Structure 1
Amino acid sequence: MSEFLEFALHEEPTRAGWDELGAVGLDQDAVARHLAAILALPQLDLPALRARGFKVALDCVRGAGATIMPQLLDAMGCEMVAINTETDGRFPRDPEPTADNLPELAVFVRAEGADLGLAVDPDVDRLSLVNERGVPLGEDFTLALACSVVLRRTPGKVVTNLSTSRVVEDVARAYGGELVRAPVGEINVARRMQSEAAVVGGEGNGGVILPDLHYTRDAPVASALILQHLVDEGTTLSAAAERWPSYTIVKNKISFPREGLPDAYVELERQLASDGVDSSDGLRLHWDARQAWLHVRPSGTEPVVRLIAEAPERVEAEELIERATAVMDGVG
């Protein structure tokens, strides 16, 4: 964006006559090409997937996912039951695919006896999971389980952002991989994946990036990898998730002057003695023995500072948030 503004303000754009303008076309085959590319991924065992015959409950929140997700599930031999597959953009709920926003899908999974539920966001680049018991897993597990599929076949580096759950790190280590963290934002993760030659990556909001296809979050790809993971493990989604440690992420936001952040970071680092510091995107502190971390960064969309903490128990994460808030109150 900064490069565009610089050009717009200081450079003369190239101009064309009315008879030299380009044309806008409609690509009718884009979905079919993308679907074919997903089904050709080396991580997928289509005969095994089709033999498993998953029953999948799908929630497309009346967004773009309804154009490709049913086709994908059908091609993978799934029996699909679905809600909110109209493509009119009239969201029936908060469209963010967070656990708190999926009670309708949770009930639907149980009522239909589905093996799992898949919820995508309106532009179908993020995926959230509901297990066969009707329990939403949280978006971080989407990336963690997808990484498992890739790493068991191609060990290598995984890139995610500084606010993503430790469970992704646990998965990477279990398969002999290395976790690399980047600043928050899809573009930051994608660029770091390219520079690190990562085999998989994404963000804890349910976004999975698979370089074998492209460097962008992709919920259909994530869905295919999740189903493949269940084939690999020969188990249910609840059992697949229970294999990994359980953590709780707590989030808060406070009003705080941006100009005061450098001093706040110094005090946080001093008063909350940690095992490691990352200052590439705000301030991230981590404690190895406690399996906990704290990330403090200014919001890119609101005039606030975000505080995110994770620990094995909610009370520990809440304590980190409270201590950090108290330190910042003392500075501000």
Structure 2
Amino acid sequence: MGELFGTNGVRGVVGDDMTPELALRLGRAIGTWSEGPVLVGTDTRTSGPMLRDALVAGITSAGAEAVDAGVAPTPAIQYSVEETDYAAGAIVTASHNPPEFNGIKVCTGDGTEPVNDEVADIEEIYFDESFPDLAWDSVGPRSEDPNVVDRYADAIVDEVGEDKLGDDPPTVVVDCANGPAGTVSPDVLRRLGAHVVAINAQPDGSFPGHDSEPTPENLASTIQAVEAVDADLGIAFDGDADRCVFITGEGEYVPGERTLALVAGAMVENNDEGLVVTPVSSSQCVADHVENAGGEVEYTAVGSPIVADVMQQRRALFGGEENGGLIFPDHQYCRDGTMTAAWVTKHVADNDETLAEMLDEIPGYRLVKQSVDCPDEAKDEVLERYTETVDADDVDTTDGVKVFRSEGWTLVRPSGTEPLMRVYAEARDHEQAAKLAKHARADVQSIVDEVA
């Protein structure tokens, strides 16, 4: 992470730490850094147009062309940047955060999010304010690209196959979370041949259907819809459609780590071997299932840009995160919710087993995720003091502190997107995982109370 950028761009509460002034200044930095046209899109948040216009003003003031894509999924912007002549992309989104938040993600000319040196370059321009002061006739133009969503949809259908779901295609409930998934995901699945029941498909930045994070608590009505229409599966997207989670035909919520294990194992099995890249926060079920299929797993720090970067370097077969963000390298090196939805739907259609039956073949673990409120400026000291309290022989410090014990593991790390310390714990049963998480969270909370 940089000083400005977290694990997935810049985020904050609108009117507090996410302001038009910040968007304007960041736009100037992006325009200076890009040295070419920048594709700009938004999710459906109410504050999106305001921040987009400030961002575009900054980009054009630096002499770069700003091309407006309108409302579009984050991976749709990334795909168009990669497949066309755009020098960079910028997406106004706060992903899964509540509606009072917004943010700005950046992608480089190959559609991937910047890491390390690239983040440092943008931040150096931003903080040094090393922007050009251009005369009126050197300001960059503003234009539109109306084909971003269609270009992206066509690519997914071409990859998976139009009308390829057989004579008895599955019925799928698609929950678009009132976000940009509604612009593309139901139509893509229909083109594949699925019977689609779309809910929360109207764009609305207040997220009236439910909060934009697809958790079990937020998806109660989605689960009811799956059961009501006797669907084969349900799919629920997050706020910018780069992630999705699944619901079985029996109405059971599928945690993201089990979807990751399912797809990764199938990919390796189809390829007879292969490397899967995932963060240290991922469940042990991923490694077990991949290794059982003949593959291997490499762990990274948390953050999809880091996972994608390592995948490119290592020519990995597949990768993804435990939150449902999966990366299909034959398509593009970024998390892609609609591609995930299409792939899993086809996998269900191609097999005699139901989604629930396929998931039953994955080793069983229970992953518990909790958090502790923590000011950003206190995170480093909290983590340092927590590390000093750890008494264990098997410790991984790739990202935060991951402690392995006979009964399971815990991970404590600073959030890259919110003022929180993240606490993960995993064990064979939920009771033990919850116990591990409770103890780790209590230790972190005690330190935060002293430091913050």
Indicate whether the TM-score tops 0.5.
Answer: yes
Per the alignment, residue 99 of structure 1 pairs with 216
Aligned match of 2:307 in 178, 189, 194?
189
2:387 corresponds to:
265
In structure 1, which of residues 27, 30, 35 is the aligned counterpart of residue 145 of structure 2?
27
Amino acid at match of 1:143: L
Opposite residue 86 of structure 1, the aligned amino acid is Q
Contact 1:109 1:117 in 2 (8 A): yes
What are the equivalent positions in structure 2 for 1:45-64 lying under 5 Å apart?
Answer: 48-64=164-180
Q: Is the 8 A contact 2:370 2:441 kept in 1?
A: no
Match of 1:214 in 2: 332
CA–CA separation in structure 1 for the residues paired with 2:420 and 2:239? 26
1:250 and 1:308 in contact (8 A); partners too = yes
Aligned partners of 2:350, 2:268: CA distance in 1, in Å?
Answer: 12
Q: Alpha carbons of 1:83 and 1:302: their partners in 2 closer, same or farther (altered >3 Å)? A: closer
Return the match for 2:256 from 123, 136, 139: 139
Could you list the per-position Cα deviations for residues 156-214 of structure 1 after superposition, in whole angstroms to 9, with x for gaps in the alignment? Answer: 11111111222222221122111111111121211121222111111111111111111
Alignment of 1:59-98 (within 5 A): 59-91=175-207, 92-98=209-215
Counterpart CA distance in 2 for 1:238 and 1:118 is 14
Which of 356, 360, 364 is the equivalent residue of 1:242? 360
**Aligned-partner Cα distance in 1 for 2:162–2:265:** 18
Give the counterpart letter for 2:205 in structure 1.
G
Structure 1 distance, partners of 2:441, 2:398, is 20
Identity of aligned residues (%): 34
Q: Secondary structure of 1:66's match?
A: helix
Equivalent residue number for residue 247 of structure 2: 130
Please tell me whether the aligned partners of residues 127 and 142 of structure 1 are also in contact (alpha carbons under 8 angstroms).
Answer: no
Deviation at 1:263, TM superposition (A): 4.2
**Separation (CA, whole Å) in 1 of partners of 2:441 and 2:181:** 39
The change in CA–CA distance for 1:177 and 1:114 in structure 2 (over 3 A counts) is same
List aligned pairs for 1:288-307, cutoff 5 A: 290=407, 292-307=408-423
Q: Any stretches of 5+ residues in structure 1 without a counterpart?
A: none
1:140 CA displacement: 1.9
Give the secondary structure class of the aligned counterpart of 1:215: coil
Letter in 1 for 2:426: E
Is residue 433 of structure 2 the alignment partner of residue 320 of structure 1? no
- Note closer, same or farther for the CA distance 1:328–1:224 as it changes in structure 2 (3 Å cut): closer
Asked if the contact 1:142/1:222 (under 8 Å) is kept, the reply is no
Deviations 1:21-78 (A, max 9, x none): 332222222222212221232xx46564243411111111111101111211111101
CA contact (8 A) 1:89 1:122 kept: no
| Cα distance in 1 for residues equivalent to 2:164 and 2:130 | 57
Equivalent-residue separation in structure 2 for 1:136 and 1:217 (angstroms): 20
How many angstroms apart in 2 are the aligned matches of 1:70 and 1:137? 20
Alignment deviations for residues 209-261 of structure 1 (CA, whole Å, 9 cap, x no partner): 11111111111110111123223432111111111122212233346754253
RMSD: 2.4
Hey, what does 1:179 align to over in structure 2? 297
* Structure 2 stretches lacking a partner, 5+ long: 6-119
User: Could you tell me which residue of structure 2 aligns to residue 113 of structure 1?
Assistant: 230
Structure 1 pair 224–149 and aligned structure 2 pair: CA distance change class (3 A): farther
Q: 1:129 to 1:329 in 2, by over 3 A?
A: closer
Tell me how far apart the structure 2 counterparts of residues 12 and 255 of structure 1 sit (CA, whole Å): 35
Q: Quote how far apart the aligned CAs of 1:87 are.
A: 1.7
- Structure-to-structure mapping, 1:131-170, within 5 angstroms: 131-154=248-271, 155-170=273-288
Greater Cα offset, 250-259 or 79-88? 250-259
Q: How many residues align?
A: 324
Secondary structure of 1:297's counterpart equals strand
Deviation at 1:310, TM superposition (A): 0.6
Quick one: distance in 1 between partners of 2:441 and 2:151?
49
Q: Which amino acid aligns with 1:245?
A: P
Are the aligned partners of 2:164 and 2:192 in contact in 1 as well (CA < 8 Å)?
A: no
Whole-angstrom distance in 1 between the partners of 2:129 and 2:211 = 42
Deviates more, 1:57-66 or 1:80-89: 80-89
